[in-house]
Structure 1
Amino acid sequence: MDDKMKKILIALIALIFVLPLAACGNTSEDAAIKENASKWHKTISDLEVVKTDKIGNNRGYIAQTMKQLKKVNKSVIQGTVYDMSKMDNLDNGAYTKVTVYVDKVISGKKSLQGKKIVLVMNGGITTTNRWYKNQNQTREANHDILVQYNEAPLPKVGSKIIGGIKPIGKTEPTVYMKTIKKNNLANTNTYDLDMPAFNFWIKDSKDKQYHLNNPKATKELKANPEMAKSIKNLTDELNQKYNN
């Protein structure tokens, strides 16, 4: 057997052992995501859903081009929602711990790729007494509810996402930041999702393309046709480059 044939044989043997391992790794991650999705669904399935037009944590600059999106965020990532879990929410607030597997770093901190990060997102499980605290609600027995922000509904476990992230502002005296500290997430791999109403894209299993995770976006952007066109162009560009 000549040297060329030996090299080919060695390469084939390597593939025999490596490919099953890689497939096993992917299968394991997929199974974990399915299990996490099932657990979260069971957690929220019987809860009363309360919809709100509150802003929540929805700050930042509305980027209208890829250049702006990269400039105003420390990192722009493409990821998969790996898990979601209930948080200990404060009065008048509702947030959820969303664990995201970073599939690709579009710009910024390359070391995040292949890692899991936490995003504390608008909406989540709280109680009627806490959500309606000091709001003169009609008195009823205290019970759990699922709060949904109309401009920023919670994603599903397994959804693909694209968005800009920043380190959390640890000194801000907001309900959002107080919730993060209360849940001991301030000094971990937690990031702030920037401008979720107009710069956060999602692709569920039923979707063919990424779209803004804001059902009200089209109506709200009618007042500014130029911005609407720019954000549509940005969405199209993200789909062209990252909708694999």
Structure 2
Amino acid sequence: MKRKIGWVLAAALLVLLAAGGCAPKTPTAKKKPTPVKTEQKAETVPTYRVVADNNLDKFKQTHGQYRTINYDPQDDLVSLLPESLAKLKKYPQTTTVRAYVTDWQQASVQMGSKPMTVLTVQVQKVLTGKKQLAKQEIRLILPGGFQPYGQYDKGSIYHDNTIPDDEPVLTQNNQIPIPTIGSTIVLPMRKAAQYPAKEYLAWLKAAKLTTAYVPADAHSMIWRCNPQTKKLTTNNPLREKELTKWAGQGNQTWATQYKRLTAELEKQL
């Protein structure tokens, strides 16, 4: 009897084990991979652009709203415009750059009766000439600057009596408008101290500008650059009118050279 009961218990145990083995397993949910956060890096603003923004704010605070008087120096101009970029590369002691204007200061000493402006520019790229100037900060001298209206127009038959003599006005050559802080320019330039005139060299020394640069041809070869489109336009508004006039009159030589050089420079930007 005991043996029979034992066999029954053993059989029951086998049934339970079999049932447990065949029972469906509870499915385990697969863990989804944790998404990796990819942060887009904010565009790094070059330090010189931050400096330019600060300097522009200071300039506006200092000068506020002001009159601009464009004068005609009555000079006999000789254009140094080359026929092509290849010819420009052969200009002695000349470097062509794309540069960003970061500051605008008036020279501490006037040259004769005329104020002079010193632009601080950051060289972004060297297009021809000294490659070591790339990413360097240099000073660029241009004619014009602020002075009391009475000092500028003293004794002139064109004197405007509605303008107070003590009002500061910006006077600039009508063919060489001074590029603004925050603008991008392209120009061939040379060391100012290369020019041999004794009076000019004495002025450079007095104004502490012996290491500064000047445009190789301020009337014809300063371009304003659009950083987005990489297109160049002349800095000289009168030259733009001349290009249109000469083309209309059939004088294609100078206009063709200018357009060719501009297009070749754009490819280097």
The normalised TM-score by structure 1 is 0.76
Name the amino acid aligned to 1:96.
T
Structure 1 position 86, deviation (Å): 1.9
1:33 alignment partner in structure 2: 52
Is the partner of 1:72 in helix, strand or coil? coil
Match of 1:83 among 67, 85, 103: 103
Q: Secondary structure at the match of 1:39?
A: helix
Does 2:208 align with 1:184?
A: yes
Match of 2:136 among 115, 122, 125: 115
How much has 1:231 moved relative to structure 2?
0.4
Larger Rg: 2
Give identity over the alignment, percent. 25
Give the equivalent residue in structure 1 for 2:264: 237
* Cα distance in 1, alignment partners of residues 153 and 78 from structure 2: 23
Report deviation, 1:136: 6.4
**Number of residues of Structure 1 aligned to a counterpart in Structure 2:** 219
**Which amino acid is 1:230 matched to?**
Q
Structure-2 separation of matches of 1:122 and 1:179: 13
After superposition, the CA RMSD in angstroms is 3.1
Structure 1 unaligned residues grouped into runs of 5+: 1-19
1:10 corresponds in structure 2 to none
Tell me, yes or no, if the aligned pair for 2:140 and 2:214 is still in contact at 8 Å. yes
Distance 1:207 1:50 in 2: 31
Shift of 1:60: 6.2
Farther-moved stretch of structure 1 (201-210 vs 107-116): 201-210
2:239 aligned to 217, 226, 232, which one? 217
Distance 1:121 1:195 in 2: 11
> Residues of 2 paired with 1:198 and 1:109: CA distance?
21
Aligned with 2:62 (options 34, 38, 43):
43
1:118 alignment partner, SS class: strand
Q: Matches of 2:197 and 2:230 in 1, distance apart?
A: 38
- What amino acid maps onto 2:185 in structure 1? I
Query: What TM-score does the superposition give when structure 2 sets the normalisation length?
Result: 0.69
